[in-house]
């Protein structure tokens, strides 16, 4: 039994984002504000002090309504550089077009493709060609098979540095922002060799529910967590209600440190 599980662990892909290895010895913790704000270097330092492994660094924000804050865009590049200088942590930033990826490529260590762009195939092909690591979020109403098929668009271009991210799907339930499909972690890890991480923030929609969903994700074998965190969540420029504070983030870091050998955790 143990041999079988070890074989499964051995065949899993480890994806490197800068110095960070995802799918290796323990779940990783990637955290940061929903969007980069002018105080981002200070935010990044405070978040780094809690022990996180990498930082969210969103500057192009895919907002449902065009009147909502759209991100600082290229004006944020000096903020990213300063955060990198202060923390030494890898930065991950969402892009919505190949041109955006080119424009911030030097300033980040990995790209995120958001739920709304999971099936933007020209974007996926361009990111495949760039060959940089990509966190591919599951689409709002995408099946697991469609999500994995989307990852193939990156891989067919020779980029296997892909991390799948479950972030909740749209169901009839409206109490939560989305319904966290915890089964998807188990199933996607069985169907692919790619690491699978979980974003409990966009699933829950409320910061009070994030720690419990994060624990559930780790319990089923997730290779990491992608969490919205901010030193003063009520002041966050976007997604404040689902953003956790530094204490809650430090607790999540304890959680991931306590969990080793992901492939052997679940029996």
Q: Give the footprint of ligand PEP on this chain (CB under 6 A).
A: 34, 58, 62, 94, 114-116, 137, 167, 199, 202
| Pick 107 or 167: Cβ nearer ligand PEP | 167
CB of 78 to ligand PEP, least distance (A): 21
| Pick 50 or 242: Cβ nearer ligand PEP | 242
Q: Can you list the positions of beta strands (E) in 79-204?
A: 91-94, 110-113, 134-137, 162-166, 196-198
Sites for Mn ion among residues 234-253 (CB under 5 A): 239
- What region does 117 belong to: left with phi over 0, alpha with psi -120 to 50, or beta? alpha
With CB under 5 A as the contact rule, the residue among 34, 104, 163, 184 that binds Mn ion is 34
How many of the chain's residues bind Mn ion (CB under 5 A)?
2
| Pick 90 or 168: Cβ nearer Mn ion | 168
Residue with tokens 């339930």: 173
43 binds, among Mn ion, ligand PEP, none (CB under 5 to 8 A by kind): none
CB of 152 to ligand PEP, least distance (A): 20
Q: Are strands 196-198 and 162-166 parallel, antiparallel or unpaired?
A: parallel
User: d(Cα 102, Cα 95) in Å, to the nearest integer?
Assistant: 9
Count of Cβ atoms closer than 10 Å to residue 66 Cβ: 6
Structure tokens at 215: 């624990």
CB of 64 to ligand PEP, least distance (A): 9
Q: Which residue of the chain is nearest ligand PEP when measured via CB? A: 114
CB of 41 to ligand PEP, least distance (A): 19
User: d(Cα 233, Cα 125) in Å, to the nearest integer?
Assistant: 35
User: d(Cα 16, Cα 145) in Å, to the nearest integer?
Assistant: 24
CB of 150 to Mn ion, least distance (A): 20
Residue with tokens 């306590």: 258
Binding mask 57-76 for Mn ion (x = CB under 5 A): --------------------
Polymer length in residues for the chain: 267
CB of 217 to ligand PEP, least distance (A): 14
**Alpha-carbon torsion angle 20, 253, 201, 87, nearest 10:** -50
Binding site for Mn ion (CB under 5 A): 34, 239
């Amino acid at each position: 039994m143990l041999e079988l599980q070890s074989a499964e662990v051995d065949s899993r892909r480890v994806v490197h984002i800068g110095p960070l290895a995802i799918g290796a010895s323990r779940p990783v913790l990637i955290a940061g504000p929903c969007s980069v704000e002018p105080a981002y270097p200070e935010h990044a330092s405070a978040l780094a002090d809690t022990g996180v492994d990498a930082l969210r660094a969103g500057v192009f924000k895919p907002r449902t309504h065009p009147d909502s804050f759209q991100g600082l865009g290229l004006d944020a590049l000096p903020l990213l550089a300063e955060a990198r200088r202060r923390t030494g942590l890898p930065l991950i930033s969402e892009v919505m077009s190949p041109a955006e990826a080119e424009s911030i490529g030097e300033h980040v260590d990995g790209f995120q493709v958001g739920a709304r762009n999971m099936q933007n195939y020209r974007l996926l092909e361009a990111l495949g060609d760039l060959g940089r690591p990509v966190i591919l979020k599951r689409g709002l109403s995408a099946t697991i098979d469609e999500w994995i098929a989307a990852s193939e668009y990156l891989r067919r271009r020779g980029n296997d540095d892909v991390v799948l991210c479950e972030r909740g799907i749209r169901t009839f339930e409206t109490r939560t922002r989305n319904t966290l499909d915890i089964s998807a972690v188990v199933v996607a890890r069985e169907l692919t060799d790619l690491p699978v991480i979980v974003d409990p923030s966009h699933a829950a929609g409320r910061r009070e529910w994030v720690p419990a969903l994060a624990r559930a994700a780790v319990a089923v074998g997730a290779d990491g967590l992608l969490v919205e965190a901010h030193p003063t969540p009520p002041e966050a420029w976007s997604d404040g209600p689902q953003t956790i504070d530094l204490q809650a983030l430090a607790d999540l870091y304890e959680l991931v440190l306590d969990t080793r050998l992901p492939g052997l955790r679940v029996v």
